[in-house]
Structure 1
Amino acid sequence: MISAGGLVEKKFNKYTLNSRYINEEVLFKILNKNSTSKYGEKYNFNSIKSVDEYKSNVPITDYLDYELYINEMLKGEKNILITDDVEFFGHTSGTTGKQKLVPVTKKSREVGSKYMALLIERFAYNNLKNKWNYGRGLMLADTVMTTYSEGGVPICSATSGGMDAIKVILPKIYTSPYEVMKIKDKNAALYLHLLFALEDKNLTYISGVFISNVLDALRTLEDNAELLVRDIRRGSINRNLNIDGETRKKLNKCLKPNAGRADEIELEFSKGFEGICRRIWPKLIYIASVTGANFSIYDDMVNYYTGSVPIYSPAYASTEAMIGINPYISKIRYVIIPDTVFYEFIPVKESNKENPQTYCIDELKVGEKYEIIITSYAGFYRYRLGDVVKVVDYYNNSPEIEFLYRKNQALNMVSEKTTEDHLRESLSKTVKEFNLSLVDYTTLEDNRITPGRYVFYLEFNEEIPKSKIKFIENTLDKELQKANLAYGRFRKNNRLACLSINIVRRNTFDIIKRYLISKGVSKSQIKIPRVITNKKDILNILNDNSK
């Protein structure tokens, strides 16, 4: 895989040197391929001969523009948005609103899969080759097929579809048998991922889509330490685990009694769980998981268990597209990949205009913030992804970006535009000030009073005395004024009231995760929404569990 990744790296370097040419080539491949589709005929793809003509002929879109087309495709209609057949419909996490169904074709999957499967591993090797041991990884992923469309096409998460496509090679690279990835119950799946990983003393890395997934697994390790030791000692899965009999039978065949390994693990567990990962997996060299931006609140908690094993945030991707890849372990930034989709970028200051000017991959300015627009092989044309990024450098001739926030995951009551980054920065400083251990959080715009205010729902590992909450509120409010100067101005002129804090009971956010899974969100795609406006079910859970 590392050798194959070297070949992909050479192509990647060639493509990024010629980013504009490669990216325009992608656009015209997409237009030519889909010119006879219903959408292609509507916008006369055959007549488009330049990027400027494409921008003039085809409007900027969002998901609502595609719902009627996708409904036709779900019924089995062909040649609607694309001429290729749909392999599966990927459903998004629904963090920022209603779950979207995104068509995925063989081509749209394959253009990104070589980067996910090979180049990520190659870049990890490039950064850590002096420690490399060629061992397997613990991959916290699932392949649960949620349902099927009326036309018989699977509907699942993009992660599920991707894993299912490479299931033949999974045992060679990951510790978990394929059957574990098919288990629907979140807690049972995490337990089994850990059980099989504990069998492998030479584990090289732990990987999850998001760093919050990794943290959930490490908390499961601590909570189930005794049972895990017992199952390894006996070489069979305990009867308390919520799995069906056939799955249990298959997985038990993969286990055998291992008293020696059980004794080793039990001894390390008895010493406590700070730095446990380095002790039970002495060859563990990195964690591969998306972090940074709003996910960075989980890093310190993961570091507690891992002994600060490096966290490599390998890729920037969505259900709609594979967008960027990170060549560095020491930095969280992504190089835009020129050959997966065609890109346009709207400067943030112009993103609210009716027909904003867009810029191509080689026209961006370092230090500027942009909203990303994509045209994909799977039928989205000039589509607003909803992500805001900052250009921090160039890698050859392709932009290096930092992800900042989702556009509709911002608090914006009086045009103050408080982003996830503002929330994260102010919360991190407040938690540090009071020496607290934050489990998770979300926020709400509250217009029931005048002036309006923000409400924070916070879960902590420790009990917070009621007498302390007002001090935390005032500190958090001051930190938020520093993080977002516009918020500070509106607070000073009494356009916004001081924020309010609701402390929720332990495991409240775990209840929210289980609720999201019950609604069809993949276990590996769960993201806690940072703004919960219009999410009444989640708000009810929070209010029911407020102290």
Structure 2
Amino acid sequence: MEPSLSNNNSYGDCEIIRWFEEIAENASFVQTQTLRRIIELNFETEYLKKWLGNINMQEMEPNLLESIYTSLVPLVSHADLEPYIQRIADGDLGAILTQDPITTLSLRVYPIKPGGRILEFIYSSKHFKTNGGLIAGTATSHYFASEEFKLKQKKTKSFTCSPLKVITSGDYKQSTYCHLLLGLYLSPQVEFITSTFAYSIVQAFTTFEEEWKDICEDIRKGTLNSTRVTIPMMRKSVLEIITPNPSLASLIEDKCNDLEVLNWASLIPKLWPNAKYVYSISTGSMQAYLKKLRHYAGHLDIVCADYGSTESWIGVNVDPSYPPEKVTFAVVPTFSYFEFIPLYRQRQDCSLSSDDFIEDEPVPLSRVKIGQEYEVVVTTFTGLYRYRLGDVVEVSSFYKGTPKLNFICRRKLILTINIDKNTEKDLQIVVERGSELLNQGRAEIVDFTSHADVTNRPGHYIIYWEIKGEVEEGILGECCREMDAAFVDHGYVVSRKTNSIGPLELCIVEKGTFKKILDYFVGNGAAMSQFKTPRCTSNKSSSAKKVITREEWEKKLSDAKIRREDMNELVMNYLVTEGYVEAAERFKTESGTEPDIDLATITDRMAVKKAVQCGNVEDAIEKVNDLNPEILDTNPQLFFHLQQQKLIELIRNGKVEEALEFAQEELAPRGEENQIFLEELERTVALLAFEDLSNCPVRDLLDISQRLKTASEVNAAILTSQSREKG
């Protein structure tokens, strides 16, 4: 039976699970049907007519329609659609992007008892009218003010602690105070704590540390602090709920006095004893707040919310018991029509182009490969056609027939000066290393951002910290040095050794700086629930971009002074990385350029690389250990990938019993320690289940590209090790 595409809001838990299992099993078919529905609904729009013309799609096979659509309709970004959106905002009532306004909502069933309360830190920004009379605002603002939001509470038989007037006030500071007040007033009923992003929860409890005494006073007297909350309608809605409760106020006061001594550790379970978990988006840039959120959550699980964007929901977390760092999202094939642009990271030794990845042609959901990185492209029911989201994801595995995605980062959120390239994720790891030293004292990082300063030579990275607590200058210096050394990108390591990138600079900003950034963001019409601290900043405003003429550009090129030493370093780095030992020796003699490693080691390194490429993994491991045993001792991921490659070679050569024994004795214990390793092991062992490998969904493991991928990883690790040894 073919799966149904309709959503029924009266479904119970079991029906929803069965529906999801069915569409996941038939994800490829469901995707082609979803695309057909989107095109049928919006076929008469100006935009689709422009690209598809008057094609007869009624009798067309789904796969043919999919092929024609992706061939004729171009990939777009927001800039491409802006003229169409502006016309709609200005009052053009024609069928520009959509034929009819369509609203779809997939209700999430919260596992709580009927009548339970949710402490939701949710916020709606103020709406405004466009020139054409349309009401505009953020996606969350529209949702929280909608009938669908009320329906969600009714269907799940659970209600947020705060009334609508608190959520839609447009003043996040006053709303936060009321959320906290009502959350504590109704604390025995609260089943879990949630917000769209982890940042909002951390921000709320940071505020609570300063305002808890006023909140207790309001609970004791049944009042609402007139300084904290001034909006009349909000005051009225809150005062209709609370009545004096001196005993509850005293109980909370006693707990807060104890918590203050403990630096507010386990605040959530102590103040909300019936809370079962904390629920929010905590992947990507939100991982920066996980440590503080866990500090507040104590023993409670942090359940990662589903994966979505302003444009479309994408996937669901089917493993809610996993910690946020290991969460993947199963794509729901009815949300939108999804495509995936394969992305390949540029070689670390070559200069950067204007982008951060090399792209291939987009592929449909049914053709994605495990281990490959992609940018997500969506075609939605609401008028976005082949729209690039800018999210970089990796396919970690499959849930039945639909891929499970691991969110990697946003595109172009990178630090780069010349041949270096560091992503938001790289920056997060570096800051965590520095904060470990900071946490040895009584200080912690409130928030951070960064900047690649190229105004002086050599250029260098700047990391900005806002700190809570006191810390000595010497410790900050150690933090800075630790972070500088923690960047592992080969381009950065080499550039630091040659001084083509200067030392990292750590700047401490005044208390409240990041709060001012938030205030500015909200003051310009955005919602608190959508705020994300920018991790990489520019000195220039994006709204004040300067258009440079050809003559100005040519003059800049002619005036540019490229030092011969820098060019020589770039050439030498290429020769060393690619293993051209004789050419490197000649170039060293002719130019006087010293490589960052001993040239005598190149031959040994290339022997390791060749061994992996030829499938002689055991020989490669021995050679790596001969070079430096610490390489594999300190890099469990690399060692696992080498052993995984050995397992692949055993399977390739038909040594089934030996492969099973090796997997059980050597790889299974590592899988028990690391969920990602376990998934990769299960994927590899799946090769044994297929007699005809041409139909095997993981047959790409037997491609030569898998050997090359492992060989490249080993090569990079040896290079990094040798660079440090010489330094």
- TM-score scaled to structure 2, two decimals? 0.66
Q: Which structure shows the higher helix fraction?
A: 2
- Distance change >3 Å, CA 140–CA 511, structure 1 → 2: same
Deviates more, 1:225-234 or 1:163-172: 163-172
Judging changes above 3 Å, is the alpha-carbon distance between structure 1 residues 230 and 315 closer, same or farther for their aligned structure 2 residues?
same
1:83 corresponds to 2:82: no
User: SS of 1:391's equivalent?
Assistant: strand
Which residue in 2 is equivalent to 1:298? Answer: 289
Shift of 1:461: 1.3
Corresponding letter in the other structure for 1:344: E
**Which structure is higher in RCO with an 8 Å CA cutoff and minimum separation 6?**
1
Moved more, 250-259 or 3-12: 3-12
Q: Which residue of 2 aligns with 1:224?
A: 211
* Residue 138 (structure 1) aligned with residue 131 (structure 2): no
TM-score, structure 1 normalization: 0.87
5 Å-filtered alignment, 1:129-278, equals: 135-165=116-146, 166-169=148-151, 170=153, 172-200=158-186, 201-272=188-259, 273-278=264-269
- AA in 2 matched with 1:449: N
Per the alignment, residue 340 of structure 1 pairs with: 335
Q: Confirm or deny that 1:510 pairs with 2:515.
A: yes
- Is the alpha carbon distance of 1:534 and 1:343 closer, same or farther for their aligned partners in structure 2, counting shifts above 3 Å? farther
Helix, strand or coil for the counterpart of 2:415? coil
The separation in 2 between residues aligned to 1:80 and 1:354, in whole angstroms, is 33
Q: Equivalent of 1:437, from 416, 427, 444?
A: 444
Cα 1:451/1:308, change in 2 over 3 Å: farther
How far 1:355 sits from its partner (Å)?
A: 7.9
* Inter-partner Cα distance in structure 1 for 2:10 and 2:95: 39
Q: Tell me which structure has the larger Cα radius of gyration.
A: 2
Residues 390 and 402 in structure 1, CA contact (< 8 A), matched pair in contact too: yes
Could you tell me which residue of structure 1 aligns to residue 313 of structure 2? 322
Q: Deviations over 1:31-75 (max 9, x none)?
A: 222221110110026426422211211111111110110111101
Contact 2:178 2:238 in 1 (8 A): no
Distance apart, 1:507 and its partner CA: 1.7
Alignment counterpart, residue 506 of structure 2, candidates 501, 504, 522: 501
1:413 to 412, 417, 439: 417
Amino acid aligned to 1:322: W
CA contact (8 A) 1:455 1:502 kept: yes
User: Aligned to 2:31, which of 1, 23, 31?
Assistant: 23
Number of matched pairs: 501
Q: In structure 2, which of residues 417, 437, 455 is the aligned counterpart of residue 448 of structure 1?
A: 455
- 1:235-263 Cα offsets, whole Å, 9 max, x none, are 12111123322331232111111122112
Contact 1:140 1:193 in 2 (8 A): yes
Change over 3 Å in CA distance of 1:233–1:405 after alignment to 2: same
Paired AA for residue 258 in structure 1? N
> Kindly tell me: are residues 415 and 381 of structure 1, through their superposed partners in 2, closer, same or farther at Cα, counting changes over 3 Å?
farther
* Structure 1 residue corresponding to 2:304, chosen from 303, 313, 316: 313
Q: Gaps (5+ residues) in structure 1?
A: 86-105, 539-547
Superposition pairs for residues 449-488 of structure 1, below 5 Å? 449-480=456-487, 482=488, 484-488=489-493
Q: Does the CA-based 8 Å contact 1:32-1:45 persist in structure 2?
A: no
In 1, Cα distance between equivalents of 2:219 and 2:18: 43
The one of 111, 118, 125 aligned to 2:108: 118
- Contact preservation (8 Å) 1:420, 1:530: yes
Larger CA deviation: 505-514 vs 49-58: 49-58
Q: For 1:384, give the aligned amino acid.
A: R
The one-letter code of the counterpart of 1:488 is: V
Identity %: 26
Query: 1:355, 1:537 → 2: CA distance?
Result: 25
**Alpha-carbon distance in 2 for matches of 1:288, 1:353:** 33
Letter in 1 for 2:293: V
Tell me if structure 2 keeps the 8 A contact 1:344–1:359. yes
Structure 2, unaligned runs of 5 or more: 1-8, 58-63, 346-354, 544-727
**Paired AA for residue 79 in structure 2:** L
**Alignment partner for residue 344 of structure 2, among 342, 346, 349?**
349
Aligned partners of 2:399, 2:239: CA distance in 1, in Å?
Answer: 48
